[in-house]
C-alpha cells in the first residue's frame, strides 16, 4: 500500500519553531511529527510514503533519507511549485500512486496526532466497498467546525459548515483512505478535498465515515501542540507505561530521553517531555511543557505551559509560562519573567516579557 502526507506550507502557526526546521520535522514527544505518522503507516503495511511538500524541500529530503533506512520504507517527495490546496497534491502525485498493484491509499494531513487505528480503517473501507472513507472525531463545540452528517452505516449524506443549530458533533479528522478512482476527480489546478471533492462523492453515495476511537488533535499551533502532548502522554500511560519516566522527581505523565540530566530537588510533571541532551539543574519545576534537544534550564526556574526550542538556555530563578514559545538557540538571562512570549531564534533576552503575545524579533 501507499500513503500521501499533505505536508503543505510554511508552518506559520507554529513559528518561531518552524523558522529553524520544517513543521513535519518538529519533534512531538521526542519524535518528529512525520515519524509518528510513518511508524503508524508502516504498521498498517504501507511500503511507500509520498510527501507533498512546497517548503524547504532539500531539508526534508535529507531527513527522509534517514527515515527510509530507519523504517525500511520508500519515501518519495512530490514538490509543488505553487500551493495546490488539499486535493491538487493527489493529482500531482498521480503517477506514483498509480504505479504497482491496484490498492487503496492513505492520505494524511501532516498536523494530526492520534492512535492511528489504520488496520481497522482498511477493514471498514473494504467492507463498504465505496470510493473513499474519512475518519471523523467528536468535538464538544461543533459550531466552530464543518461537521459531517452520516447514516448509521457511515455513509456520508452532507457536510455543514459551522452549524448554529446542532446537527452533528463529528468533524473531519484529516485521515483518509481512497480507491485510486478518486484521482479521476482531481483537476490539474489548486483544488480542495473538503469543499470540492468530498461533497461530490457524498452526493454519489461514494464516501463513508468511520469514527476515530481515542484521542485526536491537530498540533499545528502551540496551544494545541501542548494539549496534544498531554493526550499523547495519557495514551502512553494506558498502552505503554514503561516508556514514561518514574522516580521521586516525576509526577504524572513525563517522557524523558535517557541522555537528559536531571538535578536534585526537581519537580517534573505532569505532562512534560524532555528531549535528548537536556540539562535540568537543581530545584527546577516543569509542568505541561516540551523541551527540545539540548535545552538547559538553570537552577530554581519554573517552566509551565511552554515550548523551549533546541539548544536554548533558561537562566536561574526564571519563570516561563502562558504558552511561551522559545525558538532555537535563545538565551534567557537570570531572574526574568516570560509570559506568553514568542521569541525568535538566536536571541538573548535581558528583560522580562510580561505581556502575552509579545514577539521578540
Q: What is the pLDDT of residues 306-336, one digit of tens each?
A: 999 999 999 999 999 999 999 999 999 999 9
| Closest residue by Cα to residue 41 from 98, 122, 127, 99 | 122
| Closest residue by Cα to residue 279 from 317, 321, 324, 312 | 312
Q: Is 232 left (phi over 0), alpha (psi -120 to 50) or beta?
A: alpha
| Closest residue by Cα to residue 332 from 293, 290, 303 | 303
Using DSSP, how many helices (H) and how many strands (E) does the chain show?
7, 31
CB-CB contact of 281 with 298 (8 Å): yes
CA–CA gap between residue 181 and residue 104 (Å, rounded)? 9
| Closest residue by Cα to residue 208 from 96, 308, 131, 298 | 131
Position 55 scores a pLDDT of: 62
CA–CA gap between residue 352 and residue 320 (Å, rounded)? 10
The pTM of this model reads 0.88
Q: How far is CA 299 from CA 68, 184, 303, 322, in A?
A: 40, 60, 12, 20
DSSP reduced 3-state for 181: helix
Annotated catalytic residue, options 144, 151, 162, 239: 162
Position 10 scores a pLDDT of: 65
CA–CA gap between residue 170 and residue 70 (Å, rounded)? 36
Position 11 scores a pLDDT of: 62
Position 107 scores a pLDDT of: 92
CB-CB contact of 98 with 4 (8 Å): no
Position 57 scores a pLDDT of: 64
Catalytic, 162? Answer: yes
- Mind listing the pLDDT tens digit of every residue in the chain (361 residues)? 999 988 866 667 778 887 877 778 889 999 988 889 999 999 899 999 988 887 656 677 777 888 888 888 888 888 777 777 878 888 888 888 888 888 999 999 888 899 899 999 999 999 999 999 999 998 887 777 778 888 889 889 888 877 777 778 888 888 999 999 999 998 888 888 888 888 899 899 999 999 999 899 888 889 999 999 999 999 999 999 999 999 999 999 999 999 999 999 999 989 999 999 999 999 999 999 999 999 999 999 999 999 999 999 999 999 999 999 999 999 999 999 999 999 999 999 999 999 887 777 7
CB-CB contact of 61 with 50 (8 Å): no
CB-CB contact of 52 with 22 (8 Å): no
The owner of cell 498531554 is 230
Beta strand 279-280 with 112-114: parallel, antiparallel or unpaired? unpaired
CB-CB contact of 288 with 248 (8 Å): no
DSSP reduced 3-state for 307: strand
Strand-pairing partners, residue 264, are none
CA–CA gap between residue 87 and residue 185 (Å, rounded)? 9
C-alpha cell at 89: 497534491
Beta strand 170-178 with 207-211: parallel, antiparallel or unpaired? unpaired
CA–CA gap between residue 68 and residue 178 (Å, rounded)? 24
In the chain, % helix, strand, coil (3-state, to 5) comes to 25, 30, 40
Phi, psi dihedral angles at 29 (to 5 degrees):
55, 50
Position 337 scores a pLDDT of: 96
Amino acid at each position: 500500500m501507499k500513503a500521501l502526507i499533505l505536508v503543505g506550507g510554511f508552518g506559520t502557526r507554529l513559528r518561531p519553531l518552524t523558522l529553524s526546521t520544517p513543521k513535519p520535522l518538529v519533534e512531538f514527544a521526542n519524535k518528529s511529527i512525520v515519524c509518528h505518522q510513518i511508524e503508524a503507516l508502516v504498521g498498517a503495511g504501507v511500503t511507500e510514503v509520498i510527501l507533498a511538500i512546497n517548503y524547504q524541500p532539500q531539508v526534508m529530503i535529507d531527513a527522509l533519507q534517514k527515515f527510509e533506512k530507519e523504517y525500511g520504507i520508500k519515501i518519495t517527495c512530490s514538490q509543488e511549485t505553487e500551493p495546490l490546496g488539499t486535493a491538487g497534491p493527489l493529482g500531482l502525485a498521480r503517477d506514483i500512486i498509480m504505479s504497482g498493484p491496484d490498492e487503496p491509499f492513505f492520505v494524511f494531513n501532516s498536523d494530526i496526532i492520534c492512535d492511528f487505528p489504520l488496520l481497522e480503517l482498511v477493514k471498514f473501507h473494504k467492507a463498504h466497498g465505496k470510493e473513499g472513507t474519512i475518519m471523523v472525531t467528536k468535538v464538544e463545540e461543533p459550531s466552530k467546525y464543518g461537521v459531517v452528517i452520516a447514516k448509521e452505516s457511515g455513509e456520508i449524506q452532507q457536510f455543514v459548515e459551522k452549524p448554529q443549530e446542532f446537527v452533528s458533533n463529528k468533524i473531519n479528522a484529516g485521515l483518509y483512505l481512497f480507491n485510486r478512482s478518486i484521482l479521476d476527480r482531481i483537476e490539474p489546478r489548486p483544488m480542495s478535498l473538503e469543499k470540492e471533492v468530498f461533497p461530490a462523492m457524498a452526493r454519489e453515495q461514494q464516501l463513508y465515515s468511520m469514527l476515530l476511537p481515542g484521542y485526536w488533535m491537530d498540533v499545528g499551533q502551540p496551544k494545541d501542540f501542548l494539549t496534544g502532548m498531554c493526550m499523547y502522554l495519557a495514551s502512553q500511560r494506558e498502552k505503554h507505561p514503561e516508556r514514561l519516566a518514574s522516580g521521586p522527581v516525576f509526577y504524572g505523565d513525563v517522557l524523558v530521553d535517557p541522555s537528559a540530566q536531571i538535578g536534585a530537588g526537581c519537580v517534573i510533571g505532569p505532562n512534560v517531555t524532555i528531549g535528548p541532551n537536556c540539562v535540568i539543574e537543581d530545584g527546577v519545576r516543569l509542568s505541561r511543557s516540551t523541551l527540545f534537544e539540548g535545552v538547559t534550564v538553570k537552577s530554581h526556574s519554573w517552566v509551565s505551559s511552554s515550548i523551549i526550542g533546541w539548544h536554548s538556555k533558561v537562566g536561574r530563578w526564571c519563570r516561563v509560562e502562558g504558552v511561551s514559545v522559545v525558538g532555537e538557540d535563545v538565551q534567557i538571562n537570570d531572574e526574568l519573567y516570560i509570559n506568553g512570549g514568542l521569541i525568535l531564534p538566536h536571541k538573548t533576552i535581558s528583560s522580562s516579557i510580561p505581556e502575552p503575545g509579545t514577539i521578540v524579533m
